[in-house]
Amino acid sequence: MTVTLQHDPRLDLVLERVVDVAPELVWAAWTVPAHVKKWFTPVPWKTVDCEIDLRPGGIFRTVMRSPEGQEITNVGCFLEIVANRKLIWTVALKPGYRPSDPTFDVPTFTAIIMMEPQGKGTKYTALAMHKDEKDRNAHDRMGFSEGWGKALDQLVAAAKTM
């Protein structure tokens, strides 16, 4: 039993789209490191490493690399895992639930990724929840919609090769 999530447009950013791959493939794209590396970071950046311990409190770590070789490591903590339907993780906590340093380049957020079967495809919803409007707007200005949208295009392309 999980809580009902309340979407607050003042505080959240949302990407919602119907994609033509099944929820099971979207799920695999999100939860298998070898797949995540294929799509997670919008080109020309690449995801060069990914670590996933798929259970509440487990690690979700990605390393992104720019064309110039700059690397950024992001570490988050999984919160809820419902296979093929819902994945929740946050950067407000480190693995094992320890509070994280707010030194992350992106404003602290919790991500809720939802997959609903729709025909042969998936209604895909990605929600980024922030503590206040300032963080939400900063994340928006950093290109949330374009970045997460481009990454979703890459996810769909990768899923079709699985």
Among 60, 76, 135, 151, binds a copy of itself (CB under 8 A): 135
CA-to-CA distance for 20 and 159, rounded, in angstroms? 10
Backbone φ and ψ of 141, nearest 5°: -65, -30
Q: Does 80 bind a copy of itself (CB under 8 A)?
A: yes
Interface with a copy of itself in residues 21-40 (CB under 8 A): none
Asked if 78 and 60 count as a contact pair (C-beta separation under 8 A), the reply is yes
Binding part of the chain for a copy of itself, among 22-30, 35-43, 102-110, 115-123 by CB under 8 A, reads: 102-110
Structural contact between residues 111 and 126, judged by C-beta atoms closer than 8 angstroms: yes
Question: What is the C-alpha separation between 104 and 143, in angstroms, rounded?
Answer: 16
> Token pair of 45, please?
């950046």
The yes or no reply on residue 100 touching a copy of itself (CB under 8 A) is yes
Is 113 a binder of a copy of itself (CB under 8 A)?
Answer: no
- 126 forms part of the interface with a copy of itself (CB under 8 A): no
Interacting residue ranges for a copy of itself, rule: CB under 8 A: 1-3, 5-6, 11, 53, 55-58, 79-80, 88, 90, 92-102, 108-110, 112, 129-132, 135
